[in-house]
Chain A
Amino acid sequence: METSQVLLVFFGGLVPMAAVAFALGRRKALMSDASGSRMHSLPAQYGVYVATWMALPALAIGIVAAAVALLGLQVPPAPFVLSFALFGAAVGLMLALRKVEPTLRARNAIEKFVYWTLFSASLVSILTTFGIIISILFEALKFFSQVSVWDFVTGTNWSPVATFRPGQEAADSQFGSVPLFAGTFMITLVAMLVAIPVGLLSAIYMSEYASYRIRTLAKPVLEILAGIPTVVYGFFAAITVSPLVVEVADFFGLHASYTNALAPGMVMGIMIIPFISSLSDDVINSIPNSLREGAYALGATKSETIKQIILPAAFPGIMAASLLGISRALGETMIVVMAAGLRPNLTWNPLEDMTTVTVRIVDALTGDQAFDSPETLAAFALGLVLFVVTLTLNLISIIIIRKFRQSYE
């Protein structure tokens, strides 16, 4: 039997059996009620209790069988698993039915079960983080067993030699990551030079100057920028903005590459504007009015109040917003994959083509490389650095925002 068929039989059998178990439990409770002894919970709750105890052993057996198969220990034969699950369900059903007595607190038992279900759901997010760490770490460690960490961190030459067969030697490969990070930081810098001033000033306008009407109109329109898929920004940067940059540079007598770092940087900056503006807007709005009124009472104009009172008070929040923006820019992929270059290039000139960490990750993992080739593993090493850097930035900004909220609440 195929896996999908086994799953179909398993769950297709479980549902009607649960219905039967529910009916049995409820009937026993009703009969017991009718015979005069008062039950602790409602009859339906006994039904749910019995059905849960019937389903749980079956599910547990199914999960164990799946785990055994996945870990590669042995593939248990499907009929064996199914009949074993059926047996578990029958035992569970019998024991639970026998326990249906007036003294059984079925409602409390169900609610305890609900509580633990909700609790285990909340563990999924923790598991996701662990999943990311583990999936990156193992491959990255394999990479660092072949290439020294020092060469990776300080080397200025990134030229992996393609290996298409597993185990093939790639002795001439160089994995100096400095040019990749230089490109990433250059594009992030350009993006921030666009996003922070525009985002912050729009936030100030919307929270301090704009009328209610303009505010309710402009805010969702700005949010549209955040909703545009990055692949669309990438196309826009590559097809429209890059040629424009080249033309403008030509006009000033400069030479610009068609995969220059400026175009993806600017477009990325525009994408990040709403992140900065909506977070700064929240922060500025949470500054108590008494601060503003105090400044006005001393004769300050509105802009003086903003520059000398509001912005310093909101500074931690704005800082946090900018850090989140930077973290987003560092990890942004599609815009740079489509509009930035592939050539690792160590330069200060944003008109030249530069490549980024994310571009190299995508390039290494979408080609025909053998999975254990150094270049593929290098993608995971780059991913590890990216994860550590963005995690640090995110954590700092999350903590700043939490502290900030507490101080004004």
Chain B
Amino acid sequence: MSQGITLAPSRRLKKRYRAEQRFKAYCIAALLLALAFLVVFFSDMIRQGYSAFVQTEIKVDVTYDEDTIKFTNESVTEEVSPLISRAFYRTIPRQVEANPDLMNTTQTRWLTATAHVDQYRKGYSDRLDPELKATLDRLDSEGRVSYGFNSGLFFSGDSKIPSNAGLWSAFVGSFYVMIVVLVVSFPIGVATAIYLEEFAPDNRFTQAIEININNLAAVPSILFGLLGLAIFINFFGVPRSSALAGGLTLSLMTLPVIIISTRAALKAVPQNIRQGAQAVGASRWQAIRDHVLPLSLPGILTGTIIGIAQAIGETAPLLLIGMIAYIPDAPTSMTEAATVLPAQIYTWSGMPEGAYVSLTAAGILVLLSLLITLNATAVILRNRFERRW
């Protein structure tokens, strides 16, 4: 009898402890699953994208004379000619124009190969003409084929020739958009936050503004695109596809992020600071301008950078206002048609040629490193300058 009393609870206890262990294991598994995804994701992007940072180059003799300016693909030997990217032949007249001494000479150059050759050499596709394969293998054995850094990926614009396509115009477009977002949403966002945190009376209207801002932060981004299309483009007549239209649309999306983080930064400054300033005769605004704002600046800047990073990675609203146009040359003003990094990635991902897959992944790697740099800057800024009270 007495044994029964002691045994029963201990068996139950064991069961309860096992349940405890199981539950903890589930929790750890969930966290590990999320982290594992991150690892899989990044390694997949690197696996697909790393090869686009280098390009196959072939060492050939280029002849510059009257004939080859007209029939540019005759500037190299007939045998090698189909291996070289079309993008090079186009530049021959321009090269001679820029440097007339080239005329009637033969230069030895490393030239970018076509995407087909590049894909074949990287082992992605086998669909290369057998004759060209033989030529390529022969050149390879002579040491005339190698990989070179794909500088075009960074310094040339979009192109229908994969070996010539790059991110430059998207960089410029993203830069313009970023400027617009910064100029519009930073002052308005900070001003709104100061009003709500420091001046606003606690009434229905203020609460409505607050709820409205929280809601805006969660409104689907595509609806901002509809707003941009109907209001900025159709009503205000901002040019379609322009960095200005894109920037204004993204500004409205970034605004809640900046407001919410600025409010948190202002809230973190203790009341003593305000009271101290007011005690020595400063007005409310002077106390905020001279004491509260400088103290909360690191927090405000951190929130702004995070908001900007979000805006740079956003695509959906920009599709609706036409920022997926084919932009080979970088825009020179805010009102010209432009594209941005994520939109360029989207455009490339829809291209039928296989070479664009690794270009897309490479573009993604560039975009992710840009965003990680921005966010890391924000975190460092916060950790170095934020004061704990």
A contact residues vs B (CB 8 Å cutoff): 4, 70, 107, 111, 114-115, 117-119, 121-122, 124-126, 128-129, 131-132, 134-136, 138-139, 197-202, 204-206, 208-209, 218, 220-222, 224-225, 227-232, 234-236, 238-240, 270, 273, 277, 301-304, 306-307, 324, 327-328, 330-334, 337-338, 358, 361-362, 365-366, 371, 379-380, 383, 386-387, 390-391, 394-395, 398-399
Contacts and interface: CB of A to CB of B under 8 A. Distances in A.
A398 B192 CA distance: 20
Nearest to A305: B20
B146 interface: no
**Chain A binding surface SS class:** helix
A198 B33 contact: yes
Interface stretch (B64-72, B266-274, B360-368): B360-368
Contacts of B38: 221, 224-225
A132 B316 contact: no
A238 B216 CA distance: 29
17 contacts: A70-B235, A107-B283, A119-B199, A124-B192, A129-B216, A134-B231, A135-B230, A199-B34, A231-B342, A235-B349, A303-B20, A331-B222, A362-B316, A379-B226, A383-B222, A386-B222, A394-B219
B211 interface: yes
Given A235-B364, A301-B17, A136 B226 contact: yes
Given A232-B368, A331-B220, A121 B31 contact: no
Interface string B285-329: 100000000000000000000000110011110011010100000
A227 B187 CA distance: 24
B199 A209 contact: no
A307 B322 CA distance: 50
Interface in B162-193: 187-188, 191-192
Contacts of B221: 331, 333
Interface residues of B, number: 88
B357 interface: yes
Q: Which 8 A-B pairs have the closest CB atoms?
A: A331-B220, A229-B313, A135-B230, A121-B191, A201-B30, A205-B27, A303-B23, A333-B316
Contacts of A134: 230-231
Contacts of A330: 220
A47 B34 CA distance: 59
Contacts of B235: 70
Nearest to B313: A229
A131 B229 CA distance: 11
B220 A386 contact: yes
Nearest to B334: A4
Contacts of B255: 124-125, 128
A228 B235 CA distance: 33
Given A119-B199, A301-B17, A361-B222, 6 more contacts: A118-B195, A125-B216, A136-B230, A239-B48, A302-B20, A371-B234
Given A132-B226, A222-B34, A333-B316, A229 B219 contact: no
Nearest to A323: B218
Nearest to A117: B191
B188 A121 contact: yes
B237 interface: yes
A135 B192 contact: no
B346 A231 contact: yes
A383 B231 CA distance: 15
A125 B259 contact: yes
Contact of A394 (B20, B214, B225, B314): B214
Query: Which of B17, B44, B224, B319 gathers the greatest number of chain A CB atoms within 10 Å?
Result: B319
Contact of B192 (A121, A332, A379): A121
Nearest to B364: A232
Contact of B256 (A119, A125, A204, A301): A125
